[in-house]
Structure 1
Amino acid sequence: MGSNGINEDLSRQVRVRFLTKLPPPFKVQTSSIAIPANLSRMGLSEIVNLLLKNSNAEFETTPFDFLIDGELIRMPLEQFLLVKSISAEKILEIEYIRAVAPRKHEDPHLHDDWVSSIDGSNPRFVLTGCYDNLARIWKDGSFCTHSLQGHNGAITSVCVINQKGNSSRNDICIATGSKDKTLRLWMFDVAESADNPVRIGAFKILRGHTSSVQSISAIPSGDMVCSGSWDSSIKLWKVVSEGDGDSVSIKRRRLITNVDEPQLEAEATADLVGHTQCVSSIVWLEPQTIYSASWDHSIRIWDVPSEKATSNLVCGKALNCLDVGGEGSALIAAGGSDHVLRVWDPRRPSSSAPIFQFSSHSLWISACKWHPRSIFHLLSASYDGKVMLWDLRTAWPLAKIDAHKDKVLCADWWKDDSVVSGGADSKLFISSGISII
């Protein structure tokens, strides 16, 4: 057995007690046992699986990760204890959790060009934007049911808008941004299905940017969206305005036979000015607060009522992506041109310095997303073709997804236990069976 095995080098031993918050049948007896001190996570996982099989012969082998004092073990146990100045003379309490790694990779869904943007916020479908000027709805992540047609340039950003006033669970509103300098708003019936994708025309076009729209985010209430652009500006837009009437209804949308027919148009209700280069990523997490990242090396936090930036974090590198989540939904993750994924806590007095830095990617980082229900976990995607899963309790990636054969341009969580990603190989990949919670 290898260096991680449990039968090797029994001369150096430590006494441990394995604990877990997992439900049965994942619980072992809490009495202490002696184990080799040179074990790393694979050997520890083998021991826990043997203990579980002793109490339940039908238990299926499961990979585990291990924590001591809240930190994940990513080196041999004796080395970890030495680095952390933890005594090996006492009984060590080691918590085990299910390892975070995909257990299944679905067959990819091929597009006609680069898959540039993705939204996995709705468990019933995956939304993708493509350089062929189309956005697509992939129902259950399995087949394309709707094709959103009308943009005159590559789609660069997509966003599912959760409208709280919408009484129908099937009527979904979507915003898209494009290199044609516009945003478009769409409505579709998620329950609708056909042998071929249903063609949808936008119910509203939002004009005002003077260059490509790069990022879109919706206010939690769903009645407004904001957009960031290569023109360095951030604009705010109403989703539905007085006078729109029934133009946004599903019935009206179904009557559209020519997706190029004139639609409602609207102008921005506000402009947030301050960035000096492309606004590459934007998040509207709270009604009065917008977060933005830019190629001008800065992250800005905006007060919506005053239309002023209240905070400015300088990274030193061009930024491609930003997301807000983690503890208190307050941590800012961002990545860009220097291959490093950084995390800031703006609540700290010295918030200009990142509190975490992850540097396993080898090329530009294109996307980062916090897990919607975990304060520890996030993902990143890169031009190096990899999607990486991270846990704040260790500096090493929990898992690497190597499905793409070219640059990964976008990635998101889907249904809590899956990662969806798209890239320059023109493919949508779904990696599932990820145990986060």
Structure 2
Amino acid sequence: MMRTTKPIRLQDAANGFSNPHSDFPPSIGFATTVDITKYTGSRMDNTQRHLRGNWLAYWEHEIGRSEQDARFNFKQIKLQTFMGHTNSVKSIHVLNNENSFISCSKDKTVKLWSLRSQGDGNTHVSSQWTYAGHKKSVFGVTFSDSMRYAASCDSTVHVWDPFICAGVKQLDSLRHSPVTVLTAMAAPSTQLVAATTDATLKFIDLRICNYTHEFKVSMGGAGLVRCIDTSGDGRLVTVAHSSGVISVLDTRTGHLLSTWKPHEGEVLCMKWYKDGTFISSALDQTVSVWSVDDSKLKFTLRGPTEPVHLICLYGEEVITGTTANRIGVHTSVSPTASFSSTRLRSDTFRGVLTTMAVLPLNRLLLLGADNGTIRLLC
């Protein structure tokens, strides 16, 4: 949760969001707790801005936590439901101010949503804007912090501006193999990395919105690229194939630093950690931590008893999700980490869990389902 000792300006609170010229950082929730009085002196009910039920309980708990208590404490309390997608939600990306997020779906749309503290936990929220330029199911969405552009993919990459709600460019798919995975490189890079069906990484520079160069990551037999992730400095890219093979590529030279098969089954998810290590999960029900330097297993995170298809990081903690609708929390990236698992209840989450995103400032989870619904839980 974002905490500050600076006062909230009354006008900012009345507007329901922080003024861009004020010193108060953007956050979801604080503005809605203020009861306002009209300048005429007549007091208004304005109950829409009063926190009730689950939202009130959430903020009372969060405000009461000490600064030293930074743990991710998943209590499975429903705060909001986002309705609008008509098919499975495939990816969610939260903007770094946590006031908005983007989602994509098999219904061929990408939606922009606003995050606000309102209601009692049962509020249904509609999207702020829908990008409907895709012709096929959209399986990936990402955001470039450097260029402030969003990019989504249905085998063809579309670039658009979520702040003015307009498309920027659709990259020509006729001259390129279909894209299977898309991600943005960390700032200050202006590039996207797209993996194609011919096991090639293609780099897109958002300054010109076009492909610039490409690197081969497999000579055949490794299968389709299932997931990719980049190191924080953008120097390395890890690539996981459907066969269970993982490759590490140096983006400066295009050289494959290592290729090995760490899992018996297909790799489901992969997340870069730090200090030359990354985490991967596979159908063999393992969640493992690997060293890039020597391509060796450092240790396996104990706990999950079923395949993990979603991995998020919250500081030193690892948040995992499974298709059996279980949310797991490892207290650290360590062989001795404690593990807790919570099965999502039907009254807080319906459908099968398909995607997940962590809101680290407010310690919340956004969970997408195969029925098109997205829920915000704490």
- Name 2:141's counterpart in structure 1: 158
Q: Which residue of 2 aligns with 1:186?
A: 160
Counterpart-to-counterpart distance in 2, 1:288 and 1:206: 27
Alignment of 1:14-413 (within 5 A): 100-102=73-75, 104-110=77-83, 111-122=85-96, 123-140=98-115, 143-163=126-146, 172-178=148-154, 181-189=155-163, 200-205=166-171, 207=173, 209-241=176-208, 266-274=210-218, 276-285=222-231, 286-315=233-262, 316-325=264-273, 328=275, 330-347=276-293, 349=294, 351-362=295-306, 364-371=307-314, 374=315, 376-392=316-332, 394=336, 396-400=338-342, 402=344, 403-413=348-358
Structure 1: runs of 5 or more not aligned: 1-58, 65-94, 167-171, 193-197, 242-264, 433-437
Shift of 1:238: 1.1
User: Hey, what's the Cα distance between the residues in 2 that align with 1:267 and 1:292?
Assistant: 19
Closer, same or farther: CA 153–99 of 1 in aligned 2, 3 Å: closer
Deviations 1:285-331 (A, max 9, x none): 323211211212122211112212102242222112111125x4x33
CA contact (8 A) 1:361 1:384 kept: no
5+ residue gaps in structure 2? 1-59, 117-124
Q: Could you tell me how far apart the structure 2 residues matched to 1:390 and 1:121 are? A: 24
Is the CA contact 2:182–2:192 (under 8 Å) kept in the aligned structure 1? no
Return the alpha-carbon distance in structure 1 between the equivalents of residues 241 and 111 of structure 2: 27
1:384 positional shift: 1.6
CA–CA separation in structure 2 for the residues paired with 1:422 and 1:159: 16
Point out 4+ residue stretches in structure 1 off by more than 4 angstroms: 59-64, 95-99, 393-396
Confirm or deny: 8 A CA contact 2:156 2:170 kept in the other structure: no
Q: TM-score, normalised by structure 1?
A: 0.61
Distance 2:328 2:135 in 1: 33
Query: Is the alpha carbon distance of 1:127 and 1:145 closer, same or farther for their aligned partners in structure 2, counting shifts above 3 Å?
Result: same
Q: Which amino acid aligns with 1:234?
A: L
Asked if structure 1 preserves the Cα contact closer than 8 Å seen for 2:101 and 2:113, the reply is yes
CA contact (8 A) 1:215 1:280 kept: no
SS of equivalent residue, structure 2 residue 107? coil
Contact preservation (8 Å) 1:212, 1:231: no
Aligned-pair CA distance for 1:97 = 7.6
Shift of 1:103: 5.9
Q: Which residue of 2 aligns with 1:45?
A: none
CA distance in 1, matches of 2:61, 2:106: 44
Going from structure 1 to structure 2, the CA distance change for 1:98 and 1:116 (only over 3 Å counts) comes to closer
Partners of 1:346 and 1:314 in 2: CA distance: 13
Name the residue aligned to 1:51: none
| TM-score of the aligned structures, taking structure 2 as reference length | 0.69
